[in-house]
Structure 1
């Protein structure tokens, strides 16, 4: 004998069970947690954001550069006094490392760990110089920008305090510029070595423009 269930008036047998949507959402959440994905809520496809593990250092291969751009964080290990190509996954024969450029997308929080202190800054452009016969990079260069003279002077004085950049040279340049703020000047301040690395501030000042630039050159320990 076949038993046929009776349908109540107005009942839709195809309708989902109460709580079914909640169960499905919970299962999806558990699955994502197990795979380590970070989901951004809202319409569209879930996205995964690359992050640098605490205490880890960045690499300069394709994956490392993409991680730097995605996380807006770069951490380089020069605690030994040098940045070795092999340590950042760059070929030994490379003359240069990658140029990392995030202009228009936000600035990178850069940290260079030196033998006796850190070099830090917010930048949207980082470059790496070397040579075919070197196993390390001869220089890491990054760009600092400001939108006011006061902020520009503040960055220069910060470099004096933190990195040992020559104070007299810096203050003389600031005084000269304050007396003629509309002038234009390219000036390299004597390097400082307080972090165990050479840090040089190469000033690019143009009083007719709003944005001013400091090109920071970080070189291996002498």
Structure 2
């Protein structure tokens, strides 16, 4: 099938994350060590304003208390300093919870809202900004999984024909594992990519969502 490839990342197994200078350490080896996010009790505050969650100790405590994470991507850049970190910070701490936190990304043409248990950030010491934000979506049934793909096409601008082709293939071969990536969508003013693994009925099927704040439109590869 077109655009079929192995997903670029796998779900984290054992991972220890530290925020230098703040004394915050999160170990993902046991759910008991993670902040508990119950959607019925911790989704009370709505963060619709253009703001950035902070990654100093107070900011991480607020995330744990509210189970909400929000970023302003309307300028197509998310700087480390916008997150309360030094521009030379080697990394931005990944976030994990027991349950689901609400991630809100404000773009110049719309807002992405997702519910996930793990958010990763990609940068380097040499970069002053975050290159990529990624998070996981999970579905317990094929029907839920197909709905996630179709909703993504509508919300983020994926090619609907390609999405339906992928769904048709998975329905025709329900017991065959599929790894594929949809062509990027730019509908909200930043790049969104769905990179998914489908294992069929009786399995948890996963979408890795990658957001590139700096890409607001399709950019062909050099030389093409």
**Do the two structures share a fold, i.e. TM-score over 0.5?**
yes
Q: Is 1:126 the equivalent of 2:119?
A: yes
Pick the aligned partner of 2:64 from 48, 69, 75.
69
Q: Is 1:60 the equivalent of 2:78?
A: no
1:22 corresponds to which residue? none
2:25 corresponds to which residue? none
* RMSD of Structure 2 on Structure 1 (CA): 2.0
Displacement after TM superposition at 1:165 (Å): 1.4
Task: Deviation per CA, 1:51-94: give whole Å up to 9, x if none.
Answer: 67762431122322222122111111111111111010122223
Q: Is 1:185 the equivalent of 2:204?
A: no
5+ residue gaps, structure 1: 1-49
Pick the aligned partner of 1:162 from 155, 162, 183.
155
Task: Deviation per CA, 1:137-175: give whole Å up to 9, x if none.
Answer: 000001111111111110111110010012222111110
CA change 1:53–1:148 in 2 (3 A) is closer
Residues 141 and 201, structure 2, Cα contact 8 Å, conserved in 1: no
Residues 52 and 82, structure 2, Cα contact 8 Å, conserved in 1: no
2:221 corresponds to which residue? none
Displacement after TM superposition at 1:98 (Å): 0.6
Higher deviation after alignment, 188-197 or 72-81: 72-81
1:87 corresponds to which residue? 82
Pick the aligned partner of 2:207 from 210, 214, 217.
214
- In terms of fraction of residues, the more strand-rich structure is 2
Matches of 2:180 and 2:73 in 1, distance apart?
A: 26
Q: Greater RCO between the two (CA within 8 Å, min separation 6)?
A: 2
Instruction: Say which SS state the counterpart of residue 124 (structure 1) adopts.
Output: strand
Instruction: Say which SS state the counterpart of residue 59 (structure 1) adopts.
Output: coil
Instruction: Say which SS state the counterpart of residue 210 (structure 1) adopts.
Output: coil
2:99 corresponds to which residue? 106
CA change 1:53–1:147 in 2 (3 A) is closer
Residues 47 and 70, structure 2, Cα contact 8 Å, conserved in 1: no
Higher deviation after alignment, 81-90 or 53-62: 53-62
5+ residue gaps, structure 2: 1-43, 216-224
Residues 152 and 158, structure 2, Cα contact 8 Å, conserved in 1: yes
Instruction: Say which SS state the counterpart of residue 183 (structure 2) adopts.
Output: strand
> Please, what TM-score do these two structures have when normalized by structure 2?
0.71
- In terms of fraction of residues, the more helix-rich structure is 1
> Please, what TM-score do these two structures have when normalized by structure 1?
0.72
Displacement after TM superposition at 1:209 (Å): 4.3
Displacement after TM superposition at 1:179 (Å): 0.5
CA change 1:52–1:155 in 2 (3 A) is closer
